Amino acid sequence: MKSHRTPLNRPLPRRAGPSGQSPTVQVRSHVEQTVYAIGDVHGRQDLFEKLIDQIRTDAAKTEHVGGRPVVVLLGDLIDRGPQSAGCIERAMRLAEEDWCQIESLKGNHEEAFELFLEDNTVGPNWMQHGGGTTLTSYGVDINKEAGGRGWTGLQAAFQRAVPEAHRAYVKSMKLWVEFGDYLFVHAGVRPGVPIERQSPTDLLWIRQEFLAAEVPYPGKVVVHGHTPMRQPDLRRWRIGIDTGAYASGILSAIRLRGFERTLIQTA
Ligand SMILES: [Mn+2]
């Protein structure tokens, strides 16, 4: 009698080839629809466009089960990089394209964006985390607006500059979605807590307690961004796909299809 086979759990190669795509590997986790999950874009519209093109090309030549492929944006579209407004605009247009179904998740940076529209006392903290580039991307002249009335002036200018459609889009972002054996969230989950009872703060911000857990959410593979790594963190029970695009120039996505995983990155 043959010995029991070990589960197929091979890690993906750590870096995609010149085509930006790694070989597909077989895993035990399953998903019905094809899902492409994109990591933290952080204002790099150039890379966002490039990766969307790569994904659209891949989706066109791939057979899909269970309907159109899903594109999950894992949050933190904005801040740090130069084109935050453009990234939100691009995500909104993607939602209108008929080749995919889009699921847009909220990141802690989108939370800060929303908070600042309501409460300018969060301004200093947001600026420390790269919010200044978002103001600039909406055409707000920071020096001029802050000169007279400080944070009140900056907030007022930002409120005038952000289109209602952008506010509505950010407001519509979900905290998590699930497809098949995969759970998608910006930062992670608190181990031991059912998804319905997770706090938004954990879903948007958690780091160490989540990253340190070998099985952070029994029964689901958690796909997340938020914590930048030199290379995608591809594990049995957790897939971290934030490769610090704004600084590294590498924006990453994972394609989940049936029992397969494939890494797609901007070269
Ligand atoms: Mn984040």
Can you list the domains of the chain with their CATH numbers? 33-117+163-265 (3.60.21.10)
Ligand 1 centroid to 108 CA: how many Å? Answer: 5
Residue 186 Cα to ligand 1 middle (Å)? 7
C-alpha of residue 251 to centroid of ligand 1, in Å: 14
Q: How far is the CA of 84 from the centre of ligand 1 (A)?
A: 14
> How far apart are the CA of 236 and the centre of ligand 1, in A?
22
φ, ψ for residue 64, nearest 5 deg: -115, 140
Task: Quote the CA–CA distance of 237 and 249 in Å, as a whole number.
Answer: 27
Taking the centre of ligand 1 as the mean of its atom positions, its distance from the CA of residue 143, in whole angstroms, is 26
> Ligand 1 center to residue 234 CA distance, Å?
18
Instruction: Answer yes or no: are the C-beta atoms of 253 and 39 closer than 8 Å.
Output: yes
Q: Which spans in the chain are helix H?
A: 45-60, 84-94, 108-118, 123-128, 131-137, 142-161, 164-172, 200-205, 208-211, 245-248
Can you tell me the distance from the alpha carbon of 185 to that of 203, in angstroms, rounded to the nearest whole number?
A: 6
Distance CA 137, CA 191 (A): 37
**What's the pLDDT at 2?**
41
- For residue 204, the CA-to-ligand 1 centroid distance in Å is 7
**In whole angstroms, what is the distance from residue 141 CA to residue 243 CA?**
30
Residue of 263, 256, 241 lying closest to 31 (CA atoms): 256
Given a contact cutoff of 8 angstroms between Cβ atoms, the answer to whether 163 and 139 are in contact is no
Distance 4 CA to ligand 1 centre (A): 41
Six-digit token pair at 108?
Answer: 């802690």
Q: Can you read off the two tokens belonging to residue 118? A: 């309501």
Residues 6+ apart with CB under 8 A from 70: 33, 34, 35, 36, 100, 101, 102, 103, 179
Residues of the chain short of pLDDT 50, as ranges, are 1-8
Strand 25-38: give its sheet, edge to edge: 101-104, 70-73, 25-38, 252-265
The string of pLDDT tens digits covering residues 30-70 is 999 999 999 999 999 999 999 999 999 999 999 999 999 99
CA of 59 to the centre of ligand 1 (A): 27
pLDDT the model gives residue 11: 65
Report CA(89)–ligand 1 centroid distance (Å). 19
What is the distance in A from the centroid of ligand 1 to the CA of 54?
A: 24
Could you tell me the distance, in angstroms and rounded to a whole number, from the CA of residue 117 to the centre of ligand 1?
Answer: 19
The enclosing H or E element of 25 equals strand 25-38
Contacts of 72 (CB under 8 A, 6+ apart): 35, 36, 37, 38, 102, 103, 104, 105, 177, 184, 223
Please give the model's pTM, rounded to 2 decimal places. 0.94
Quote the ligand 1 centre to 130 CA distance (angstroms): 11
Q: Ligand 1 centroid to 187 CA: how many Å? A: 6
- Pair type for strands 182-185 and 221-224: parallel
Q: How far is the CA of 127 from the centre of ligand 1 (A)?
A: 14
